Chains A and B, each alone.
Chain A
Amino acid sequence: MAITPPTRAPHPLETTSRADDAVVAGPHRRHAARLAAIAFVAPLVVYLVVFYGYPLVQNVAMSLQRYDRATFVSGGAPFVGLDIYREVIGQPKFWRIVGQTATFTLVSITVQYVVGLALAVFFQHNFRLSATLRAMFLVPWLLPVIVSGTTWQWMMNPDNGALNSLVGLFGVDPIWWLNADHALMSVIIANIWLGIPFNLVILYSGLQNIPTTLYEAAAIDGAGPWRRFWSITVPLLRPVSLITLLLGLVYTLKVVDIIWIMTMGTGTSQTLATWSYAMAFGKGASAVIKYSEASAVGGILLVIALAFGLVYIAVQRKQED
């Protein structure tokens, strides 16, 4: 199309009335307005492509080629299609690790949510020292994970750890917390402890948004505390609960640090995230670096997280209708 100077300076707001432009102003103004629109969007698009699109695509590309240290350096990794995915999923330990990841994630977020909600309801009633106590519950969130992870590992020492002394008081035999069989349980305990503050804070602020008049009206109508909880708190807290659970799920799926510090992903504590980390950097039991396999497992993790994200959007949309 021929380019002639616009009759007047285009205003970016005009892009909001494109339909009118097309009829009234003819092609010239519409063209200029679109250029301006592109100019405004470009920085965001460039940012998204460079920092999100490119790494994601690179990750997928890596999982479709067979990389080792030599081909990583000199290039020329052969394209193998979906072979890497087939190999990863075909390993006998794959489904075991998926199961462990599911247990780790579901048990962690369920207990975190229930305990977080119980504490939030507890702190809803202001009492002396309630602010101080609430602040103390935030400590796990403020500590660096390297500190809390090491402390948990030390408390779970099978020979002279604090936790075994504690269970000993109840007549329980010392537990080898971090051995292959118990490792999953131990890292779940530590992870729940880490995640409670997050649930507490979000759910507590959600509770603040429920008008107290509802509770008062219900009380006058004769509803007891239990009834008030199920009929007012739970339904009105649903949007907040949903986002808490979804964020908790995504955070927990990708947890590496606490597990790595405590067990390096040995035994039953291996999850998709720690497995991918170990292969990507040649750490832990295996010093062999496996770029392609790590990318494939990372990709699988992303798809799982994305699936739950879509579930969240669907549920949210249903609520709004």
Chain B
Amino acid sequence: MTRLNPRAAAGIGIMVVSGFALAGCSGGPTVAPGESGAASEGTTTAQITFWDPYPQRETGSEWDTLVKSCAPDGSTIVRSSAPQSDLFNQLTTAVKEGNAPDIVLLDNPMMPEASSAGLLATAEQAGIDTAGIDENLLGPGIVDGVAYGVPMGSNALGLYYNKNILDAAGVNPADIKDWASLNTAIEKVVASGKKGITFSGVAGEEGVFQFEPWFWGAGANLSDLGSAEAISAGQLVSDWIGKGWAPRSAATDNQSASWDVFLTGDYGFAENGSWFAADAAALKDFTVGMIPIPAKDSAVAPVPTGGEFAVAPLQSKDASDHYANASSVIACLTTGDKATATSEALGYLSAKADVRAAQVAANAMWTPWVSIVEGAQGRTSELGATYVDVSAALSQAEQGALNAAGDASGVEAAFKDASGN
């Protein structure tokens, strides 16, 4: 190994300096996304790009076919999919680089952050019709009084039960009216030799989504994570782990993994989403029923609204044409005769009362879900763009509570830490 000679040192110096110069050039945005443009002033183009967070719905699937059938005359839709958080990051970069897609389906709690970061065109600009949408479901898409998109329907959380196990244990699901009666029911199931309840407590938004019914059901508020009500919700799920009523893998299970655990047929209850309703109805090994998730002192806890918003990203070039594309395709999917097909293909209940009524009339499976969806509460309605920070803290608190496995001081410490006091 020889010493660095002066010439080489100078060379490296030049490299570093030119690197800084390059970085300097790209400090600003490549193209500034415009605030101008309107769907009414544009015409649809030959190719329309469509992004959604459903990589599991492959080319040729019911959803894929439905989306592509919504291409206006003379256009084709190019659809691509990525998981939620990746899609959001890709959208951020795409808007920065000025090559955003025409339509994106964005998870509803991301809406305030996306609009305040300047990624989205307003519903008015993009010609998206928000008439007839339930207020609670449209809520996450309204930021500072301006609507930014339209919900593609809504899913919600319920408490599924294995009827065979409950019958054998002598539990009547209609008796579950609050947390105390739920715990009594779970205890009976466990005493009968079966296991209690599955849920997803995985780190991140997914686990928080599943925790919120208990959190809100306790009367807790997202602006105060250290409250006695918040801690009592943490204690409830922590006790399930501590008593062995819930699998300890709940701390790492996502909602699909948690559903798989329920499908083993060993568990009496499962907290999970309406998107599994069709799956549950088709089960052969045992009969599955569903009741609303109980609150601490009442039969129905508020659940968070779930599902995506159809939005038009801000465009810097030919904005009006892109918005015309968005307007046409989103209208096709959410209004008129295809609206029902859209909800059914996604496994959601429609965000419009009349379409929802048609879904229920066609399929009784949806009946118990209607009141849950109508009573659901937007995650970001209270806090707006700061929800994501609070959600991160709540996730940390829930992880702490699950790890405490029933230990009350551990649960309390987890929530106090997360709330920062």
A158-B249, A180-B403, A266-B399 are known contacts. Are A54 and B92 too (CB-CB below 8 A)?
Answer: no
In Å, the complex CA distance between A178 and B95 comes to: 39
In Å, the complex CA distance between A320 and B249 comes to: 53
Q: Are A68 and B392 in contact (CB under 8 A)?
A: no
A282-B89, A287-B392, A288-B392 are known contacts. Are A180 and B19 too (CB-CB below 8 A)?
Answer: no
Q: Does A69 contact B (CB under 8 A)?
A: yes
List of A residues within 8 angstroms of B202 by Cβ = 264
Q: Are A284 and B399 in contact (CB under 8 A)?
A: no
Q: Are A153 and B27 in contact (CB under 8 A)?
A: no
List of B residues within 8 angstroms of A286 by Cβ = 204, 388, 392, 395
Binds B, one of A4-12, A71-79, A95-103, A108-116: A71-79
Q: Are A73 and B92 in contact (CB under 8 A)?
A: yes
Q: Does A244 contact B (CB under 8 A)?
A: no
List of A residues within 8 angstroms of B110 by Cβ = 287
In Å, the complex CA distance between A288 and B85 comes to: 10
User: In chain A, residues 135-152, which have Cβ atoms closer than 8 Å to a Cβ of chain B?
Assistant: none
> B195 — nearest CB in chain A belongs to which residue?
A159
User: In chain A, residues 39-85, which have Cβ atoms closer than 8 Å to a Cβ of chain B?
Assistant: 41, 45, 48-49, 53-54, 56-58, 61, 68-70, 72-76
Q: Does A285 contact B (CB under 8 A)?
A: yes
In Å, the complex CA distance between A287 and B396 comes to: 12
User: In chain B, residues 8-25, which have Cβ atoms closer than 8 Å to a Cβ of chain A?
Assistant: 11, 15-16, 18-20, 22-23
Binds A, one of B111-119, B173-181, B182-190: B111-119
Q: Does A122 contact B (CB under 8 A)?
A: no
Q: Are A285 and B117 in contact (CB under 8 A)?
A: no
Q: Does B144 contact A (CB under 8 A)?
A: no
Q: Are A282 and B117 in contact (CB under 8 A)?
A: no
Q: Are A49 and B395 in contact (CB under 8 A)?
A: no
Q: Does A224 contact B (CB under 8 A)?
A: no
Q: Are A284 and B248 in contact (CB under 8 A)?
A: no
List of A residues within 8 angstroms of B66 by Cβ = none
Q: Which of A57, A61, A289, A316 has the most C-beta atoms of chain B within 10 angstroms of its own C-beta? A: A57
* Majority secondary structure, B binding face: helix
Q: Are A178 and B252 in contact (CB under 8 A)?
A: yes
User: In chain A, residues 190-209, which have Cβ atoms closer than 8 Å to a Cβ of chain B?
Assistant: none
Q: Residues 251-284 of chain A: 1 if any B CB is under 8 Å from the residue's CB, otherwise 0? A: 0000000000001101100000000000001111
A69-B117, A73-B92, A73-B118 are known contacts. Are A178 and B204 too (CB-CB below 8 A)?
Answer: no
B369 to chain A: closest CB distance in Å? Answer: 26
In Å, the complex CA distance between A73 and B23 comes to: 16
A146 to chain B: closest CB distance in Å? Answer: 14
Q: Are A317 and B1 in contact (CB under 8 A)?
A: yes
B418 to chain A: closest CB distance in Å? Answer: 10
A295 to chain B: closest CB distance in Å? Answer: 12
Q: Does B344 contact A (CB under 8 A)?
A: no
Q: Does B262 contact A (CB under 8 A)?
A: no
A203 to chain B: closest CB distance in Å? Answer: 23
Q: Are A288 and B388 in contact (CB under 8 A)?
A: yes
Which of A57, A181, A316 is B403 in contact with, Cβ under 8 Å? A181
Q: Are B95 and A287 in contact (CB under 8 A)?
A: no
> A57 — nearest CB in chain B belongs to which residue?
B19
Q: Residues 245-264 of chain B: 1 if any A CB is under 8 Å from the residue's CB, otherwise 0? A: 00111011000000000000
Q: Are B251 and A57 in contact (CB under 8 A)?
A: no
User: In chain B, residues 77-131, which have Cβ atoms closer than 8 Å to a Cβ of chain A?
Assistant: 85-86, 88-89, 92, 95-96, 109-110, 113-114, 116-119
Q: Which of A48, A57, A281, A285 has the most C-beta atoms of chain B within 10 angstroms of its own C-beta? A: A285
Given contacts A54-B23, A284-B203, A317-B1, 14 further A-B contacts (CB under 8 A): A53-B16, A68-B117, A72-B117, A73-B29, A73-B96, A74-B118, A157-B249, A159-B249, A178-B251, A180-B403, A264-B202, A282-B85, A284-B204, A288-B388
What is B's interface to A at a CB cutoff of 8 Å? Answer: 1, 11, 15-16, 18-20, 22-23, 26-29, 32-33, 85-86, 88-89, 92, 95-96, 109-110, 113-114, 116-119, 202-205, 247-249, 251-252, 388-389, 391-392, 395-396, 399-400, 403, 405
What is A's interface to B at a CB cutoff of 8 Å? Answer: 41, 45, 48-49, 53-54, 56-58, 61, 68-70, 72-76, 153, 157-159, 176, 178-181, 263-264, 266-267, 281-289, 313, 316-317, 320
18 contacts between A and B (CB under 8 A): A57-B16, A57-B19, A57-B23, A69-B92, A69-B117, A70-B118, A72-B92, A73-B95, A74-B33, A157-B249, A178-B249, A264-B203, A283-B204, A284-B203, A287-B204, A287-B388, A289-B92, A320-B1
The 6 A-B residue pairs with the shortest CB-CB distance in the complex, in nearest-first order: A53-B19, A69-B117, A286-B392, A57-B19, A75-B28, A158-B248
